[in-house]
Amino acid sequence: MRIAVLKESRDGERRVAATPQLCAQWTKQGHVVAVESNAGIAANYTDEVYKQSGASVGSRAEVLGGANLVLRVNPPVGSEVTELPENAALISLLYHRSNPQLVADLNARKISMFSLDAIPRISRAQSMDVLSSQANLAGYKAVIKGAENLGKIFPMLMTAAGTITPAKVLIFGVGVAGLQAIATAKRLGAVVEATDVRPETKEQVESLGGKFIEVKGAEVGSEGGYAKEATEEYRQKQREAVNKSLALADLVITTALVPGRKAPILIDDEQLALMKQGSVLVDMAAEQGGNCAKTEAGKIIQINGVTLIGSTNLPSELPMNASELFAKNIDALLKLIAPKNDLQYDMNDEIVQGCLVCHEGKILLGEPVNA
C-alpha cells in the first residue's frame, strides 16, 4: 500500500500526521511511504530524517501520485480536495457534522474518509482516540499559557519578606483536558477547584487533589463518552454554585464542548464582571464559539482588567509530542483497517461504523448536501 503524508495548510499548524519513527515501521511492514517536503519541519522532523526512515520525500503532486491512503491532521480545504486521488482513502480530522459540504465534495471523488474525531469512545478504540490524546496535551498547555499571562506565581512561597499565598485555579469541565489541567495546576502548587455537569467526575477531581463544586439537583450526565448539553435549569444552578469561586479565581480554564454544535456559554457578561482585576481566563472552546461570551478566537484581549485567551489549537503549540501521539493513534487505526497491509472495510465493526464517513460514493455518516 502506498501511504502519502501531507504537509498541513492550516495557519499556525505545526503538527504532522506521521513521524519518521512510524514511517520506518510502515516501510518495514512492506508499505511504500511518501512524505511531502517540509511536512514535519515545524515539529522538528526534517526531510532528511524521513528519508533515513525509508520514506521518499517530494512535492505534493509526487507524493499523491498513486497513493492508496492519504494522512493529514486537518481536513482538506478548497482545491486540496480535488488534489486527492479518486478512490483513495483519507485519514484525518474532519468534524463531519459541521462540514457537510466537505463530506459531499470528498464523496464526489469516491474518497473513503475515516474521520478521526468520530472514533467511538469505547474501550477497544482508546489507542485510536485522537481527541483524547490531543486534549491531554491541550489541558497541560492551557495551564502553562495561563501562568505565562498571570502576574503571580502558582505555589505558596514563604520568604523573609513574607508569605505569598498560592494561586486559585477554577476549571469548567472535567473531561480529558480538564483532568490534565487540574493535575498540571496542582503540580505547580495552585489551589484547584473544578465543576462538571457529570456528578461522577467528582471522584476523579478529588483523586487529583482538586475540590469539586457540586451542582445539586440538576445533574446532566454523559452519553457516548461526552457530556450531554446542559439544560437552562442546570446552567442557572451552576452559576449560583461557582460564582463565589469565580470571583476569587486567579486563573479560569473552560473546556466545555458539545460535538457538532456551538460551545455552550458558561461565563456570561455578568459573571465576567465578577472576575477580579489581573485574573486570566483561558477559553479552550474558542474555536467553537467560546465558553465565555466575550472570547475572541485566536486572540488575547483584556476586558475590565481580565485577560481573555481565545485558544484555538493548543496541541499544535507542543508539536513534537502532539505529532507523536497523533501518529500513534493513526497507527492503531491502521492495525484495524489494514491488518494485512491492504485496506479492508469491515462494515460490521463498531469502530469502522463510527468513523467511516463516506465510502464508494456513498455518505454513511451525516446528511448529503446538494452541490
| Predicted confidence (pLDDT) at residue 224 exceeds the cutoff of 80 | no
Q: Which domains, and CATH codes, for the chain?
A: 2-118+318-361 (3.40.50.720), 136-317 (3.40.50.720)
**241-261 average pLDDT score:** 92
| Predicted confidence (pLDDT) at residue 14 exceeds the cutoff of 50 | yes
**1-11 average pLDDT score:** 97
- 222 given a catalytic annotation: no
Q: How many CA atoms lie within 13 A of 34 on its CB side?
A: 18
Q: Give the residue with greater pLDDT, 215 vs 356.
A: 356
- 21 given a catalytic annotation: no
Confidence label for 235 from pLDDT (cuts 50, 70 and 90): confident
The torsion defined by the Cα of 132, 133, 136 and 141, in degrees rounded to 10, comes to -130
Instruction: Please tell me which residue in 56, 226, 234, 245 is annotated as part of the active site.
Output: 226
The span from the CA of 143 to the CA of 11, in Å, is 23
- 162 bridge partner residues: 159
Percentage of the residues of the chain whose pLDDT score is greater than 70: 95
pTM check: above 0.75: yes
- 129 given a catalytic annotation: yes
| Predicted confidence (pLDDT) at residue 369 exceeds the cutoff of 50 | no
**364-371 average pLDDT score:** 60
Q: Give the residue with greater pLDDT, 215 vs 105.
A: 105
Instruction: Please tell me which residue in 121, 187, 235, 239 is annotated as part of the active site.
Output: 121
DSSP codes, 190-237: -EEEEE-S-GGGHHHHHHTTPEE---TT----EETTEEPPPPHHHHHH
Strand runs labelled E in the chain: 2-5, 32-36, 56-58, 69-71, 89-92, 112-115, 157-159, 162-164, 168-172, 191-195, 211-212, 222-223, 226-227, 251-254, 280-283, 300-303, 306-310, 356-359, 362-363
Instruction: Please tell me which residue in 132, 204, 311, 323 is annotated as part of the active site.
Output: 132
| Predicted confidence (pLDDT) at residue 222 exceeds the cutoff of 70 | no
**320-344 average pLDDT score:** 96
CB 78 within 8 A of CB 332: no
- Residue 218, all three cell numbers: 440538576
Mean confidence (pLDDT) of the chain: 93
Instruction: Please tell me which residue in 129, 196, 250, 283 is annotated as part of the active site.
Output: 129
Instruction: Please tell me which residue in 29, 101, 126, 207 is annotated as part of the active site.
Output: 126
